């Protein structure tokens, strides 16, 4: 049986694995997850940056508004604006620079549990 939600039901929080970095407060996310996939509503201010990293999860980022510099590895990059879609395969090093105030949706599978440190909402990942 499915569930219905509204983004406003999920608190906007800094990304847990970026805490302590100077640009972390420029990037807020609302995260919801099912058993096999996770969706994140991203709101980033111009200048926000996620450093080079990799993870098991496949990742798709859909830019709803704004502009990002999507970086794969250390050399390959692409500027994506509204309507841009970035697909990041599993375990591929990548980073992102937010070139304008940006709204985006990120879908990952499997869910990235590192995003859930201190972040739990009923019916997101656990049954009550």
Question: Could you report the per-residue pLDDT of 94-114, keeping only the tens digit for each?
Answer: 889 999 999 999 999 988 777
Token output for 35: 């058993």
Token output for 74: 């250390």
**41 pLDDT tier (thresholds 50, 70, 90):** very high
User: Is residue 89 within 8 Å of residue 71, measured between CB atoms?
Assistant: no
Q: What is the mean pLDDT of residues 53-72?
A: 93
CATH 2.60.120.10 holds for 9-109: yes
As a residue count, the chain comes to 128
pLDDT at 18 over 70: yes
First to last CA, the chain: 14
Helix (H) or strand (E) holding 11: none
Q: What is the mean pLDDT of residues 65-72?
A: 96
Q: Which one has a higher pLDDT value, 15 or 128?
A: 15
């Amino acid at each position: 049986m499915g569930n219905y939600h509204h983004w406003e039901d999920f608190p906007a929080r800094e990304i847990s694995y970026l805490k302590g970095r100077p640009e972390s407060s420029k990037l807020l996310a609302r995260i919801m997850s099912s058993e096999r996939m996770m969706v994140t509503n991203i709101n980033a201010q111009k200048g926000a940056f996620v450093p080079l990293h990799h993870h098991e999860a496949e990742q798709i980022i859909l830019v709803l508004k704004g502009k990002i510099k999507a970086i794969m590895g250390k050399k390959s990059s692409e500027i994506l604006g509204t309507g841009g879609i970035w697909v990041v395969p599993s375990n591929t090093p990548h980073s992102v620079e937010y070139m304008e105030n940006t709204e985006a949706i990120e879908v990952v599978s499997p869910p990235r549990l590192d995003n859930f440190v201190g972040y739990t909402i009923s019916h997101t990942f656990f049954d009550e």
